């Protein structure tokens, strides 16, 4: 039986642990990318699987019944990339990656790039820390939040055409956004649910929760 949802803990920052904890359900499969184990344990969700080169977490001190998938330190992928690869082999309905935003800018940009991979776009993969969620739209997508939440639309690697939005304050109707312009920054939700639809390109959505 495939898991409905997988939570992956990365080794970045969690600006609001309580909001992060609220994202997790009791039936979620939990994977920790090496040092992300610290977040999983701190929030009370022991990982089912720990993946990485174990340079950030001492597995010898671990007393949990978790599967350990260890890689050599000299590798081409980050621990998070390895964790995502493993998660997708389980064919989940959704993958939510916690603690992958903030902290080191290079890591944050790399983590966003990871979920832009074309093969991964067939899955529902989201970066989330309870305050912000980040995901890609390549057809039609939905944002669930609250009135006043901030939503930014960022063209990824090229222009995005045919953008149509619903329930955002500044409406786009069959318009184009360009990667060297900032027009899509800081829109606002006017309803608990907003939708964005595009014709071509890849659109990065950043949803910042402001009222809850």
Task: Give the 3-state secondary structure of residue 175.
Answer: strand
One domain for residues 165 and 87: no
Average pLDDT over residues 19-29: 92
Helices (H), the chain: 17-21, 37-42, 79-88, 105-114
60 has pLDDT over 70:
no
Banded pLDDT at 200 (limits 50, 70, 90): very high
212 has pLDDT over 70:
no
DSSP percent split of the chain into helix, strand, coil, nearest 5: 20, 35, 45
Residue 116 Rama label (left phi>0; alpha psi -120 to 50; beta)? alpha
59 has pLDDT over 80:
no
Reported as a single tens digit per residue, the pLDDT across 149-169 is: 999 999 998 999 999 999 999
Query: What are 163's two structure tokens?
Result: 């953008």
One domain for residues 110 and 179: no
58 has pLDDT over 90:
no
One domain for residues 21 and 109: yes
One domain for residues 109 and 10: yes
CATH number of the domain bearing residue 52: 3.40.50.10240
One domain for residues 126 and 158: no
Integer CA distances (angstroms), 193 to 145, 146, 165, in order: 6, 7, 11
Task: Give the 3-state secondary structure of residue 121.
Answer: helix
One domain for residues 50 and 122: yes
One domain for residues 144 and 114: no
Compute the distance between CA of residue 187 and CA of residue 20 in angstroms, rounded to an integer: 24
Average pLDDT over residues 60-77: 73
Reported as a single tens digit per residue, the pLDDT across 90-116 is: 999 999 999 999 778 888 999 999 999
What average pLDDT does the structure give for the chain? 89
């Amino acid at each position: 039986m495939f898991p409905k949802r997988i939570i992956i803990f990365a080794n970045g920052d969690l600006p609001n642990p309580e909001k992060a904890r609220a994202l997790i359900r009791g039936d979620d499969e939990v994977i920790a990318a090496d040092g992300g184990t610290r977040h999983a344990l701190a929030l009370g969700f022991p990982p089912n699987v720990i993946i990485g080169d174990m340079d950030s977490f001492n597995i010898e001190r671990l007393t949990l019944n978790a599967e350990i998938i260890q890689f050599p330190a000299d590798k081409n992928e980050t621990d998070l990339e390895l964790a995502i690869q493993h998660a997708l082999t389980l064919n989940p309905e959704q993958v939510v990656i916690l603690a992958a935003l903030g902290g080191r800018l290079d890591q944050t940009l790399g983590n966003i790039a990871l979920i832009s991979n074309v093969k991964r776009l067939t899955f529902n993969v989201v970066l989330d820390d309870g305050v912000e969620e980040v995901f890609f739209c390549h057809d039609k997508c939905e944002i669930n939040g609250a009135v006043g939440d901030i939503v930014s639309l960022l063209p990824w690697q090229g222009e995005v055409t045919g953008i149509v939005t619903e329930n955002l304050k500044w409406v786009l109707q069959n318009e184009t956004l360009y990667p060297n312009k900032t027009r899509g920054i800081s829109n606002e939700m006017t309803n608990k649910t907003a939708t964005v639809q595009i014709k071509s390109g890849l659109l990065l959505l950043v949803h910042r929760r402001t009222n809850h």
